[in-house]
């Protein structure tokens, strides 16, 4: 499963100030949890285990090589500290650095995987049950999961911090899960792709 680079965000609400930078949402590469088809959202597990597979690392390198074509000389990567996102950030940054780009990586606990409550460690086929409930009520917390509304709030806080960070043009790939990307694109009442 290749990481996805999304160039255009259409959040469900507007930031208080306009964005000064270009933001990209980049999903982590294929992880060991993806292969095992399990939900890993607990930081006690996800920050230490279930990093990228060999195929996941290769896909991130290819994505980084494509990204270079549109990047400026300054790229700041903001990533979840989950192993799969952190490793994606490291591989992506290394690819960009080889091309001569400055590329610091910042880890953010705010961008951790959405907590899926009682579904933790279970089959990833149950994601659709949560997303179905999200579409009906963005504030719902099915199975004790974080709500889609809470995820939207995180996206706006992180984007707002990035906007305040510098007045120079930078590219900010944010390494996150598919659920976050859905919230960025569709707002909290997301239509899951």
pLDDT digits (tens, 9 = 90+) for 81-98: 999 999 999 999 999 999
Closest CA to 115 of 46, 52, 191: 46
Domains annotated for the chain, with CATH where assigned, are 5-104+113-186 (3.40.50.1240)
Is 113 in the active site?
Answer: yes
Q: Which of 21, 87, 113, 152 is catalytic?
A: 113
Is 141 buried (19+), middle (13-18) or exposed (0-12) by CB count in 10 A? middle
Global pTM? Answer: 0.79
Tens of pLDDT, residue by residue, the chain (193 residues):
444 333 333 444 445 556 566 777 788 999 999 999 999 999 999 999 999 999 999 999 999 999 888 777 678 888 889 999 999 999 999 999 999 988 889 888 888 888 999 999 999 999 999 988 988 898 999 999 999 888 877 776 766 665 555 555 555 555 555 655 555 555 555 444 3
Annotated binding-site positions for substrate: 27-34, 84
Tokens 């917390």 belong to residue: 141
- pLDDT at site 177: 59
Is 146 in the active site?
Answer: no
Q: Which two tokens mark 14? A: 């507007």
Annotated binding-site positions: 27-34, 84
- pLDDT at site 68: 87
Do residues 114 and 182 lie in contact, with contact meaning Cβ atoms separated by under 8 Å?
A: no
């Amino acid at each position: 499963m290749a990481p996805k680079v999304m160039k255009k965000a259409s959040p469900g609400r507007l930031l208080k100030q306009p964005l000064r930078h270009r933001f990209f949402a980049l999903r982590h590469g294929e992880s060991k949890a993806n292969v095992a088809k399990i939900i890993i959202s607990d930081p006690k597990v996800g920050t230490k285990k279930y990093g990228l597979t060999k195929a996941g690392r290769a896909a991130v390198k290819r994505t980084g090589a494509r990204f270079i074509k549109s990047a400026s000389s300054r790229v700041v990567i903001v990533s979840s500290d989950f192993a799969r996102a952190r490793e994606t950030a490291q591989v992506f940054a290394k690819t960009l650095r080889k091309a001569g780009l400055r590329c610091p990586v910042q880890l953010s606990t705010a961008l951790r995987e959405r907590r899926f409550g009682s579904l933790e460690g279970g089959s990833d086929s149950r994601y659709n049950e949560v997303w179905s409930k999200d579409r009906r009520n963005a504030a719902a917390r099915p199975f004790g999961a974080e709500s889609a509304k809470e995820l939207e709030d995180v996206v706006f806080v992180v984007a707002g911090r990035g906007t305040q960070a510098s007045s120079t043009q930078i590219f900010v790939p944010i390494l996150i899960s598919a659920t976050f990307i859905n919230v960025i694109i569709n707002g909290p009442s997301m239509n899951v792709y």
